A and B are shown apart, each in its own frame.
Chain A
């Protein structure tokens, strides 16, 4: 916007106007800081001179708790990290444990996990869509995001009993088999995919016909790939800069190498590119779920063979997955007990929240909300 503003006529300028830098607090309670994030802002008028993020309001000691529980209970805590995509959290911890224990996950469970993880990507990105578009001022879009989320959470509730914190993906596969009532799981999911396509169409229409939304997000916070990699940025934010780096392609897990899907990338890494990348990713997620539904055997074990006495070997593994936010990884170290010696959750939002200090410097305060929203932070995984 600044390059379109006409210059102020000289007679209106007051060169002797004394100004002071203001130190203000944004958050931790604020309609626009997604979750409990506090930003200490130093402002020169409308410009952010310095932004210091302050976190820790949601720290619950998830890693320590996971280290005291037997590893088959640990996924319960994991989905409280990135609570907007719980299946992805559970999946990464289970995959790491299965790698250490040498457990093979049966085919039916593997495909089901992919379906759930991708449906989660859809709910998470629709949440992003609603929140981001409302941040930009187009409040109508907020509820567009929630419609599909609610429909999906109804399905999640049928599957796992819970809308948000599922406790469904377990070490070895799934906690119990997919529901076949009121309709077979595949039919329910295919209906959901039809609803998703319709919801996506409506969501995209709202945006493409909105000049001012584009104006609010276009050219805001353009980011180069090198700078993003230095800051530890992954996921859609990194792909928006033009690098097609997706863990599902680079280090496939849970049969992702069997599916055909594209990796949308942006050009200049601005807020609008980050938004567009996520919108396009939703289409790819729908494709993946369709393929997984075709490939999933209708019968089969939902959980692999677990040893009667669960003991993690004396070794380490780092398992990374592509969560809706970026590289979600678990460093797991066993020491011969049922509980892990060290559980380190590598959360994408942690690095993105840290990057805010760099990203917000020099931005307008009105854009701070756009920039913060475009990072799609979930404080649960920042703080753990």
Chain B
């Protein structure tokens, strides 16, 4: 698409955007605020998908979703979910906010409207345990270890380093128990899948215990 085709006539300022936004989102009873850096609209979680459609189909000009993320709010037992929209036609931005309570952290996925939200929502699920209903592939993205899910919540502490060799001594791969040997191995033993705590080699092959001495 050549740059000449870009419509530059309609470049609304922030006040204009606030006005149009009130009309566009009227049926969702949002709380709209003009912040220093962006226009902010707080919505109910159930309205997110319809509001997304209304914004996309409007003349507001927000054609780019930059990110979706969560912000933990333990004082209110809820997680704020943020959607930050930008435009390639004007310099204003729109931050959509909603919040979901810990006991039922569900919000409709906006992937039908903004396909780019796909991985952002999966990451928010990993980090904040927010569930996005209707997501096309709601599988873990960055954290597939069960005890790490919800890592960015404030109740999840920053812990002492974990010896990952012990953690990965056994993994389930496709329902099969696969022992992984994550220790230095003698070249002739490399690739052999055996009991990771098997007997040490008679000739004194390498092992972390041996190497540390």
Q: Which residue numbers of A lie inside 8 Å of B, CB to CB?
A: 55-56, 59, 61, 63-65, 67-68, 224-226, 229-233, 241-245, 250-251, 265, 267, 317-318, 320, 327, 329, 331, 333, 341-342, 344, 346, 350-351, 353-355, 358, 383
Contact = CB atoms under 8 A, between A and B. Distances in A.
Contact of B91 (A250, A265, A333): A250
A273 to B, nearest CB: 13
A317 B71 CA distance: 13
A17 B161 CA distance: 55
Contacts of B1: 224-226, 241-243
A232 B66 contact: yes
Interface residues on B, range: 35 or more
B141 interface: yes
A184 to B, nearest CB: 38
Q: Can you list the 8 inter-chain pairs with the closest CB atoms, starting with the nearest? A: A232-B116, A354-B119, A56-B142, A225-B1, A346-B67, A59-B142, A344-B69, A231-B116
Given A329-B66, A346-B67, A63 B152 contact: yes
Interface in B121-170: 123, 140-144, 151-152, 158
A230 B114 contact: yes
Contacts of A353: 119
Chain B contact residues, majority secondary structure: loop
Contacts of B140: 56
A317 B158 contact: no
Nearest to A233: B116
B88 A331 contact: no
Contact of B2 (A242, A250, A342, A355): A242
Nearest to A327: B66
Contacts of B63: 229
Given A251-B91, A318-B38, A383-B142, A333 B71 contact: yes
Contacts of A320: 66
A120 B141 CA distance: 29
Interface of B: 1-3, 6, 37-38, 63-67, 69, 71-72, 82, 84, 88, 91, 93, 95, 114-120, 123, 140-144, 151-152, 158
Nearest to B90: A250
Contacts of A342: 71-72
Given A56-B143, A351-B119, A232 B71 contact: no
A65 B158 contact: yes
B64 A229 contact: yes
B205 to A, nearest CB: 24
Contacts of A244: 3
A342 to B, nearest CB: 5
B26 to A, nearest CB: 26
Contacts of B119: 350-351, 353-354
Contacts of B116: 230-233, 351, 354-355
Contacts of A226: 1
Nearest to B113: A230
A231 B6 CA distance: 19
Contacts of B141: 55-56
Given A244-B3, A265-B3, A351-B116, A64 B91 contact: no
Given A55-B142, A243-B88, A231 B115 contact: yes
Nearest to A58: B142
5 contacts: A55-B141, A231-B116, A318-B37, A341-B71, A354-B118
B37 A232 contact: no
A333 B37 CA distance: 13
Nearest to B117: A232
